[in-house]
Copies of this chain bind each other. A is one copy, B any other.
């Protein structure tokens, strides 16, 4: 399909939907802007979990069971690190380690994350453009009842998102800015699609990059979000638990409201048919993506639906 699409994505859910888009859009038409609030330094390596999940997914090498990491990867280095008494709670595969080693070396050499991400992806044969939300480091800090404020990976991986969250803070966000590459992709986009990622933990940081919201909202094109919540539950991960802890009712409608200042279209799951969505354009599809075929089918439905109304969108045509 000859449509320029920018997708916003966090980890597994957003990556799966991006994979669907990648199979339908013509080569060079898809840009994925990825959350980097999860990035962290670990054992001296710069680890960018969401960028890697999107990259491995688009490269077709992602572990199909976990949805992250490299299929069939081993953990010999991690086990050896454990014998040295080093932290092993963050699972690092041996093939995956190559990504972290090269990225870290290139970062320390002065290259920016945008360039590095492009080069890694190209070398893995990815034909789509994968962009970090910003080149400056941003760290999503999670304020928890049990442990106070902790780093994202401590919350998400080490503590398996069990702590009760009372707030979020994006460390370094004031120094981040929309990259030239992201600005150009958004300026050329025929549609902007927010994947079914965690709105608060994955998409929130992207939208919080100074200049990002404006760069998105000023575009007179479909700006669509796919719900990550079905019948009040996250498809994967802590979204619904987090929403409840932050005082929101966990529902697709709440997600649509969260994005209300950004989107003009919203995709609900068919299991929530009948739910009132306060967005100009709403669609109901089966959004569960269990297989690659599901991902491609959902992407096709969403793109066909968007194509049906995208010529109606006018500049300033926005609910708020």
* B-binding residues in A (CB < 8 A): 43-45, 70, 73-74, 76-81, 83-86, 94-99, 101-102, 104-105, 108-109, 120, 123-124
This chain: how many copies in the complex? 2
- CB <8 Å contact, B101 and A44: yes
> Shortest distance in angstroms between A171's beta carbon and chain B's nearest beta carbon?
20
- Taken together as a complex, chains A and B put the C-alpha atoms of A102 and B97 apart, in Å, by 13
Minimum CB distance partner of A93 in chain B: B76
> Shortest distance in angstroms between A132's beta carbon and chain B's nearest beta carbon?
18
- CB <8 Å contact, B77 and A98: yes
Minimum-distance CB pairs A-B, first 5: A44-B105, A80-B98, A76-B94, A80-B95, A81-B98
Q: Is the interface of A mostly helix, strand, loop or mixed?
A: helix
- CB <8 Å contact, B84 and A120: yes
Chain B residues, CB < 8 A from A79: 95
> Shortest distance in angstroms between A42's beta carbon and chain B's nearest beta carbon?
9
- Taken together as a complex, chains A and B put the C-alpha atoms of A49 and B109 apart, in Å, by 23
- CB <8 Å contact, A101 and B123: no
Knowing that A77-B95, A79-B95 touch, tell me 13 more A-B residue pairs with CB under 8 angstroms.
A43-B101, A44-B105, A73-B76, A76-B94, A77-B77, A77-B97, A77-B101, A80-B96, A80-B97, A80-B98, A81-B98, A83-B124, A84-B99
Most chain B CB within a 10 A radius of its CB, from A45, A73, A78, A98 = A98
- CB <8 Å contact, A95 and B123: no
Listed by A's residue number, 22 A-B pairs whose Cβ atoms lie within 8 Å are A43-B101, A43-B105, A44-B101, A44-B104, A44-B108, A45-B101, A74-B76, A77-B94, A77-B95, A77-B98, A78-B98, A80-B94, A80-B95, A80-B97, A80-B98, A81-B102, A84-B99, A84-B102, A84-B120, A84-B123, A84-B124, A94-B94
- Taken together as a complex, chains A and B put the C-alpha atoms of A96 and B102 apart, in Å, by 17
> Shortest distance in angstroms between A117's beta carbon and chain B's nearest beta carbon?
13
Chain B residues, CB < 8 A from A76: 73-74, 76, 94-95
- CB <8 Å contact, B84 and A98: yes
- Taken together as a complex, chains A and B put the C-alpha atoms of A43 and B97 apart, in Å, by 12
- Taken together as a complex, chains A and B put the C-alpha atoms of A109 and B86 apart, in Å, by 15
Chain B residues, CB < 8 A from A97: 77, 80, 97
Chain B residues, CB < 8 A from A105: 43-45
Chain B residues, CB < 8 A from A99: 80, 84
> Shortest distance in angstroms between A3's beta carbon and chain B's nearest beta carbon?
31
The verdict on A85 contacting B44 (CB below 8 Å), with A77-B98, A94-B76, A97-B97 known, is: no
